[in-house]
Amino acid sequence: MIKKIRVQKIEIDMPTEDGEMWLRATLQFAYKNPDGSLRQIVDRVDFIYRSFTEFCAEMRTITDPVTGQTLSSSGAGCALMIKKFITNWIVQKYPAATVNQQTGDITIEE
C-alpha cells in the first residue's frame, strides 16, 4: 500500500488590517493499492502553520500550466497575485465597490 500526502485545504488568515498574515495547510492522507486504485482517504491528519514573514522572501519557480511559461516568484509575490484574484472577485460580487490603487483598500460608499 502507498500513502500519499496531499494538501486538502489552504487558508490565509488575516486577523486584523495591519496584523501578521498566517497560512495554514490542512493535510490529508490517501491510501492507494499497489495498482494505484484508491483504498481510503483520511481527512485533516495534520496541519502546517507559517507566518507570512517566514516565507515571504523564499523564491520558487514553476511552469504555468495554462501559458507554459516558466515563472519565478517570491512568497510575497504569490500572496500579491492571490490578493489580485480575490480583489477582482470582490468587485464582481459588489459592483458598487471601488479599489484604491495606492492602498489596495476596497470600499463601498454607504
The answer to whether position 101 is within a domain reads no
The answer to whether position 65 is within a domain reads yes
Give 95-109 pLDDT, tens digit per residue: 999 999 888 899 998
The answer to whether position 29 is within a domain reads yes
Q: In sequence order, what are the beta bridge partners of 106?
A: 99
71, 62 Cβ separation under 8 angstroms: yes
Q: For residue 73, what are the domain limits?
A: 2-95
> For the chain, what's the residue count?
110
The answer to whether position 108 is within a domain reads no
The answer to whether position 35 is within a domain reads yes
Give 3-48 pLDDT, tens digit per residue: 999 999 999 888 788 888 899 999 999 999 988 888 898 888 899 9
Q: Which three cell numbers stand for residue 36?
A: 494505484
Contacts of residue 102, defined as CB under 8 A and 6 or more positions apart, other chains included, come to none
Q: List the beta strands (DSSP E) in 1-110.
A: 2-13, 22-32, 38-51, 59-63, 70-74, 98-99, 106-107
Q: What is the pTM of this model?
A: 0.73
The answer to whether position 102 is within a domain reads no
Q: How many domains does the chain contain in total?
A: 1
The answer to whether position 89 is within a domain reads yes
